[in-house]
Structure 1
Amino acid sequence: MGADDDYRLKLAAFLATQPVAKGVTTEQVLTARTRDELGITSLNMIVVMLNYLKDHTDGSVALRPEWVPRMVDVDGIVAVLREIDASKVAQPQ
């Protein structure tokens, strides 16, 4: 299992906590190529990311406009999660 799979599992775990992603399974996240295959609209994906930022960065990282077009496919979503986590680590404590 590689780093991308680890982040797909992280995405699946977080989606399981989100009402807008109700019914999305870990298996779907691991195999889907696009956000549409997960049944998540672009607006709902933004809501999910805002919730992720709130829960994982305590507001120290803001949603970046350049992330939005990357959230069309699952690999892009995973890359955004990785960036958020890296930004959080880079923040002064």
Structure 2
Amino acid sequence: MAYDLSDLKTRTDLAASLAQALAARYADPARARANWGDHDPETMLVKRLARDALWDDEVRRQADRHGLDTIVIDGSIPVADLASRLAARFWLES
């Protein structure tokens, strides 16, 4: 069943279910091995972050090419400001 993300602000049961699902997903050793391999976790993290940076750059290039704007979520914007920007972007403000 799909939910509008704005429901998470008012329905704590949905937020809790999402948190439980994510915890189970990332606590599963088989899934972790499939995602990270059997190599040194620190080395794999560095490689994964480098790969993610390349992906982010490509997505931003494509968004720009199509006239779409993006919001960079890198910790430099206070959470309350970021939440306001995202709410405005997705028309969640009342």
* Band the TM-score falls in, shorter-chain normalisation: under 0.3
- TM value normalised by structure 2: 0.27
More relative contact order in 1 or in 2 (CA 8 Å, sep 6+)? Answer: 1
* Structure with larger Rg: 2
